Structure 1
Amino acid sequence: MGIGLGIFLVVIGAILKFGITTEVSGLDMGAIGIILMLAGGAVIVLTLLMMLSRPSRRGEDPVHRDDPHL
Structure 2
Amino acid sequence: MGIGLGVLLIVVGLILLFALNVNIPYVSDDVLGIILIVGGVLVIVLALVLNAQRRRSTHVQETHYDGPPPAA
The structure that has the greater radius of gyration is 2
Show the counterpart of 1:52. Answer: 52
The SS at the match of 1:54 is helix
> Over the residues paired in the alignment, what is the CA RMSD in angstroms?
1.5
How far did residue 56 of structure 1 move? 4.8
Alpha-carbon separation, structure 1, partners of 2:3 and 2:54: 16
- Over the matched positions of the two proteins, sequence identity in percent amounts to 40
Moved over 3 A (4+): none
Show the counterpart of 1:6. Answer: 6
Gaps of 5+ in 2: 58-72
Gaps of 5+ in 1: 58-70
Show the counterpart of 1:16. Answer: 16
- The normalised TM-score by structure 1 is 0.74
| Number of corresponding residues | 57
